[in-house]
Structure 1
Amino acid sequence: MKIGMVGTGGFSRMHAAIFTDMTDVRFQAVCGTSQEKAAAFAAEYGDANGYDNVTQMLDQEKLDAVYICVPPFAHGDVEQQLIERGIPFLVEKPLAVNLKVPNEITVSLQKKNVITSVGYHFRYRDTVASLKKELETCTVGMVTGGWMGSMPLVPWWRNRDTSGGQFVEQTTHLIDLVRYTLGEVEEVHAVEANRIMADLHKNVTVADIGSAILKMKSGVLVQLSNTCVLPDDVLEIGLHYFHSGGIAKIDQAGLTKCTSSMEVKEKDSVNPYVRENEAFLHAVQTGDTSRILSSYEDAFRTQEVTDAIMKSVESKKTVQLGGN
């Protein structure tokens, strides 16, 4: 299989390092924001061809699949070109800054069926599979958790118009995990504020603290918070599920199950990014999409929730979600 890449950042490197180790996979081409960046990236992984124009890359290369690893504001044209050409793609989250572009892409996918995968890698963790099995045997009351870390200092992340903010760009992973384990969201109410980062750095238009209440269609209440005021390398990401059998905590270290009689800790045995890549490329090669755990259409529903959170912040009102 001949693979193309759009983007030359950290996630592009992570995916390239994984699929270039696979058999029957060739890294054929990469497109960056400049010819120099693309050429340098290509040289790291063999003899891939470098481009600074997506259309040119797609015209000149016969690609079996393409990875899209670009900032939130840069989505839209690449996906539409791939759909038009019938080329499968794996796109990193989030799908965009808001719903406009994902709406358009979803309509295009309804007209032309193309294999898609979205980079919600938490779904591929062993511990998440164990968590889902645990929750099937009990009644969940509520969930609390958050994404607490530092602010990425790339200019586009600090700008609300180009990143969407922390709920859209980072906490989307936890929102997707909530959907994956508990079903769809019925309504949200959220607030944000600025405490530190706008005084420390120029051109900061994203909030640096925020909290949201999600009411699930099942009746479960979920409280999610996020902040980017912490020092570098200080990070806490996770969810606590409070249910009729006890507490289940999933975080970076793994899964902890607490009952009245015992505490059990589990760790992931397989890199979820590897499993995610294997599932996508298996689908491209065979047409079997059963191992893909997050299609574009499914990820669109996660994007709907993050969009509703931002609308709630702006309106200072509860926002209902429909059509789920």
Structure 2
Amino acid sequence: MTLQIGIIGTGWFGMMHAEKLARLDGVKVTAFTATSQQKADVAAQRFEGAKGYDSVHTMLDDRKLDAVYVCVPPFAHGEIEAALVERGIPFLVEKPIALDNEQPTAILKGITEKKLITSVGYHFRYMDGTARAREILRERTALMSLGYWMGSMPGVSWWRKMEGSAGQFVEQTTHIVDLLRYTVGEVSEVYAAYGNRYMHTIEDGVTVPDVGTVTLKLEGGTVATISNTCAIPAGDKAGLHIYTNKGVLELGHGGLVDIEAGRKTEYANQSDPYELENDAFLHALRTGDTSRILSSYEDAYRTHQITIAANESARTGLPIKL
């Protein structure tokens, strides 16, 4: 059985997924939807037999698809997922899943009712280092965690507006929030402080905060702080440090560093997490077995609620209980 896959969004993520899928046996990328017909056609030309469309509805009317990859900015979610749910088409969607809580609540209701297979692109979960950290934490007591996403502001105009991206904590740092949930546990309360320090003075139309720190209480009793900035031109870094009764686990893009008294062990990532993510989703499409999908829409919704709560806390100056 050859799976027929559609791609919505022709930016970096959409084309990255398309290229990886096209290299697989039993998978055919047959449709692209973009913000314009021209963009969709240009993307489709790179894949034999693929066709471009300027709307999700036209694509679904014209092509019989086994699944769709949704790779669009935060502000563009909603209508796309609703159309896929209505037609009962499984989908993998890149994070974040929305700008607010209302939209994904309605989408999740439809997914649950139709028992639809979904996956969300929290690829940090698929890293070898993350799997190893979870194994180690079964034998240790997590005490507290420090997370960070430090970098510069992406060049696309929608990212720098709250109505386009919902800000860095929702759009980027969500990966670290999700990593905390996946390795340490569920979050019960957040308190956030954001600031606009610099970027609005050098770029037009910036409404997103460029610095922020969020304190999180977890159900198991541990505490965490996750900070971010999008204002530094060098020294970018993202990761999560988990402090345990035995030492420190440092998780990042490259893998895991396990620091104990008198010993430091490094576990470099060997696998491509995006390929593992795709493999899990495609396996579920073929067999119905969703056990290898590490982040369903329902699970990702809980991460999303935390990041939206952080924005609300920063706005009101009050802690938010989840």
Q: What's the TM-score, normalizing by structure 2?
A: 0.98
> Which stretch shifts more, 191-200 or 251-260?
251-260
Which residue is equivalent to 2:251?
250
What aligned pairs does 1:197-276 form with structure 2 within 5 A after superposition? 197-231=199-233, 234-276=235-277
**Cα contact 1:72–1:162 (8 A) shared by 2:** yes
CA distance in 1, matches of 2:164, 2:117: 27
Please tell me whether residue 282 in structure 1 is matched to residue 283 in structure 2: yes
Which residue is equivalent to 2:46?
44
Shift of 1:53: 1.4
Which residue identity lines up with residue 154 of structure 1 in the other structure? Answer: V
Which residue is equivalent to 2:155?
153
- The C-alpha deviation readout for 1:173-202, integer Å capped at 9, x for no partner, is 000000001121010000000111000100
Shift of 1:44: 2.0
- The C-alpha deviation readout for 1:11-48, integer Å capped at 9, x for no partner, is 00110111100001011101011110001011123331
CA distance in 2, matches of 1:314, 1:23: 49
Q: 2:112 aligns with which of 110, 113, 117?
A: 110
CA distance in 2, matches of 1:116, 1:21: 22
Q: 1:119 aligns with which of 118, 121, 128?
A: 121
- The C-alpha deviation readout for 1:32-76, integer Å capped at 9, x for no partner, is 111100010111233310000110110110000000000001111
CA distance in 2, matches of 1:261, 1:207: 41
**Cα contact 2:179–2:240 (8 A) shared by 1:** no
What aligned pairs does 1:290-301 form with structure 2 within 5 A after superposition? 290-301=291-302
Which residue identity lines up with residue 76 of structure 2 in the other structure? Answer: A
Which residue identity lines up with residue 2 of structure 1 in the other structure? Answer: Q
CA distance in 2, matches of 1:69, 1:252: 21
- The C-alpha deviation readout for 1:189-242, integer Å capped at 9, x for no partner, is 0000011100010000000000000000011110000000111x6420111111
CA distance in 2, matches of 1:10, 1:100: 27
Q: 2:138 aligns with which of 133, 136, 139?
A: 136
**Cα contact 2:30–2:47 (8 A) shared by 1:** no
Shift of 1:302: 0.2
> Which stretch shifts more, 292-301 or 245-254?
245-254
Shift of 1:253: 2.3
Shift of 1:162: 1.3
Shift of 1:110: 2.2
Q: Determine what percentage of the aligned residue pairs are the same residue.
A: 48
**Which stretches in structure 2 are left out of the alignment for 5+ residues?**
none
What aligned pairs does 1:297-308 form with structure 2 within 5 A after superposition? 297-308=298-309
Shift of 1:261: 2.2
CA distance in 1, matches of 2:47, 2:182: 34
CA distance in 2, matches of 1:110, 1:140: 33
Please tell me whether residue 186 in structure 1 is matched to residue 212 in structure 2: no
Which residue is equivalent to 2:27?
25
- The C-alpha deviation readout for 1:116-148, integer Å capped at 9, x for no partner, is 000000000111000011111111111012000
Which residue is equivalent to 1:81?
83
CA distance in 2, matches of 1:29, 1:241: 42
Count residues with an aligned counterpart.
Answer: 320
CA distance in 1, matches of 2:288, 2:66: 12
Please tell me whether residue 319 in structure 1 is matched to residue 305 in structure 2: no
CA distance in 2, matches of 1:83, 1:102: 12
**Cα contact 2:22–2:28 (8 A) shared by 1:** yes
RMSD over equivalenced CA pairs, Å: 0.9
Which residue identity lines up with residue 321 of structure 2 in the other structure? Answer: Q
> Which stretch shifts more, 100-109 or 207-216?
100-109
**Cα contact 2:249–2:258 (8 A) shared by 1:** yes
